[in-house]
Structure 1
Amino acid sequence: MPPYPDAQLAAVARQHGVDPSELREVPGGVANRAFTLGDALFLRISRPGYESDLHKEFLVVPTARAAGVLTPEIITYDPTRTVLDTPYLITRRIHGTEPTTLPKTLAQQLATLHHLHQPPAQPANATQAVCSVGVDGLGGLPEDGWGDPWGTVEELVDRGYIDPGTATWLSGWFTRLAEQIEVDGPKVLIHGDVAAHNLLVGPTNDLRALIDWGDAAWAPPATDFAKLPLTQVADLIPDYLNHTHSPTTEHELAAATLWFHLSWALSKLPATPWPNQRHWTAPTTSRLLNLLHFFTTTPPPPWSDLV
């Protein structure tokens, strides 16, 4: 039985001038239930435990839009639990489909987003103004780093997932990658879940919207290339760098991206299988098999130099 009675959803629809008969649920969604409200609006209702993700979206979306990122305008955010017993958010509805190939202008959109750098840390006694536009209002976003892949490798040995010889090889690979990465480089605003199910394109594969900002954070730019297959990333990065003012080279960004793909692939190995999910990284071995596929199909430079 749905957790929200039809009467409550009908009340939300009527508040926004939509006849309840035009309300349709969209399947899928881990953090939220989603509904179309006619042709013009889109409703997302937080599932239990994910309320902070919806609040984060409320904070991040205006900043991203002000920077020029294509993402739907927020119409209403209601955390009061007076109409529904959980927070909900309504945006403009963007009509599009999930892409099957790399969307046009995605590289430019990510470069635009990554121009937003993490603001300097404030002194403990400083008073910070909270605003919906501008990075100064996003200082409370989570901060993601590089993790500890060497620790992951050791744990996998201890738990019997890999043998000591393979662990030595993997640890050496991470050490070589670390020498090619600026680990102390600036952190930028990332979307955090750049994958096909969060992209909407038009009939000619033109990107219309980047949606679902629940994983947004301050992080190395390469983090936003970690949920796309490496075959797509290899095509995306050169175009991305053409739209940035960063001194980062293609080799450095490729090394950083490979770091996340390999690290996250290893971290996923002990996970409990989660079938019937849309995302290609949901199966526990998909990332490792994607790496195997990529590096056995003659990847272009600089990727071929990273093994």
Structure 2
Amino acid sequence: MTPHPELEPLAASFGVPVEAVHEVPGGVANRAYALGDDLFLRIPRSAAFEQDLLKESTVIPAAIAAGVRTPAIIEFDTTRTLIDKPYMVLERVHGTDLVDGETPPREFWQEVGGQLALLHQAERPMGAPDDDGGGDPRPTVDSLAAQGYLDVGIAAWLLGVFDHLATLIPEQKPVLLHGDLAQQNLMTHDGRLRAIIDWGDAAWGPPGMEFAKLTLEQVAATLPGYRAAGGGTDQAEGLEASALWFHLSWGISGLPKQPQPGRRHWTAPPASRLLGVLRFYASSPPDPWPTLIKKAQH
């Protein structure tokens, strides 16, 4: 018996024998399959994720038009004729993501930065929702202190950090965000960036939020390439301040959440973001990162 007989009509429509259909594990929103050597199939796991695939059908062409390396859509079908769910077939990228691949060289992150600069200059496509990243985190700090997740002294210090960061972050013009720029969505081969994939979390929001799902070490390596390609040229240290704002904000809000064993993304464990900030600052990061915290202590 073939492993995926339900996909045989769809595979046949592209001239791919069902024996050449192989599931690729790891996706949260979609089941993913390699259709032979050249095509890649994505099917939403539930109705709740179907709107994300619809969003991708408009965001991916906008990203490609801006010059971003991402697989082109070969077919997007909502008719449920060949299978009982909507699906998207894309070009297949041959490479590995950063979860399974080797640590890339610094030049890789320069490429990522350049790609993000192109993306952030793209026109807003239909279907890209507004997203501010959750708003002001300071009420959350107060709430977690009241619930006993934070002691009073740490809460007061965090409020001071956010107050200081707020003075450094300029008003950010919204841009098209990938929204899930993380290790599992960056494809690499021979130390080079092959493609940015998975646009289901794309949104229209502040540029600094784009850097919230990379580690801060990766952010620090990416920003020079981003700026060199014309991204955030008027923000000085504002990009670093904004990235740190989201790392701390999302890290704090994640403290009460339950663990999610088996997830591939590094931010799944509730304390990972905050421990990531600690690791970064323990590594003697370059300017202007140290001053973002030190000045807040005054």
- Scaled by the length of structure 2, what TM-score is found? 0.91
The aligned runs of 1:269-288 (5 Å cut-off) are 269-288=255-274
The residue aligned with 1:131 is none
CA distance in 1, matches of 2:148, 2:79: 48
Are the equivalent residues in 2 in contact too, given 1:241–1:250 (CA < 8 A)? no
Of 116, 132, 144, the residue aligned with 1:145 is 132
Say whether 1:111 aligns with 2:117.
Answer: yes
The residue aligned with 1:66 is 65
1:7, distance to aligned residue in structure 2 (A): 3.3
Q: Provide closer, same or farther for how the CA distance between residues 210 and 78 of structure 1 changes in structure 2, counting only shifts above 3 A.
A: same
Are the equivalent residues in 2 in contact too, given 1:13–1:37 (CA < 8 A)? yes
**1:81-126: CA deviations, max 9, x gaps?**
232222110001111111333625111101110112xxxxxxxxxx
1:206, distance to aligned residue in structure 2 (A): 0.9
The residue aligned with 1:84 is 83
Say whether 1:197 aligns with 2:196.
Answer: no
Q: Name structure 1 gaps, 5 residues minimum.
A: 117-133
The residue aligned with 2:217 is 231
Say whether 1:163 aligns with 2:148.
Answer: no
Name the stretch that deviates more: 37-46 or 6-15: 6-15
The residue aligned with 2:296 is none
1:153, distance to aligned residue in structure 2 (A): 0.6
1:80, distance to aligned residue in structure 2 (A): 2.1
The residue aligned with 2:279 is 293
**Alignment-mate amino acid for residue 29 of structure 1:** G
Are the equivalent residues in 2 in contact too, given 1:237–1:250 (CA < 8 A)? no
Percent identity over the alignment?
Answer: 50
The residue aligned with 2:172 is 185
Of 287, 290, 297, the residue aligned with 1:304 is 290
Query: Alignment partner of 1:63: what SS?
Result: helix
1:159, distance to aligned residue in structure 2 (A): 2.1
The residue aligned with 2:207 is 221
Query: Alignment partner of 1:50: what SS?
Result: helix
Q: Provide closer, same or farther for how the CA distance between residues 208 and 245 of structure 1 changes in structure 2, counting only shifts above 3 A.
A: closer
**Alignment-mate amino acid for residue 107 of structure 1:** G
Query: Alignment partner of 1:64: what SS?
Result: helix
**Alignment-mate amino acid for residue 106 of structure 1:** V
The residue aligned with 2:15 is 17
1:166, distance to aligned residue in structure 2 (A): 1.5
Say whether 1:259 aligns with 2:265.
Answer: no
Q: Name structure 2 gaps, 5 residues minimum.
A: 294-298
Where in structure 1 do 4 or more consecutive aligned residues deviate above 6 Å? Answer: none
Number of positions where the alignment pairs a residue of Structure 1 with one of Structure 2: 282
The residue aligned with 2:229 is 243
- Scaled by the length of structure 1, what TM-score is found? 0.88
Q: Provide closer, same or farther for how the CA distance between residues 45 and 245 of structure 1 changes in structure 2, counting only shifts above 3 A.
A: closer
1:245, distance to aligned residue in structure 2 (A): 5.5
Aligned CA RMSD, in angstroms, stands at 1.5
The residue aligned with 2:56 is 57
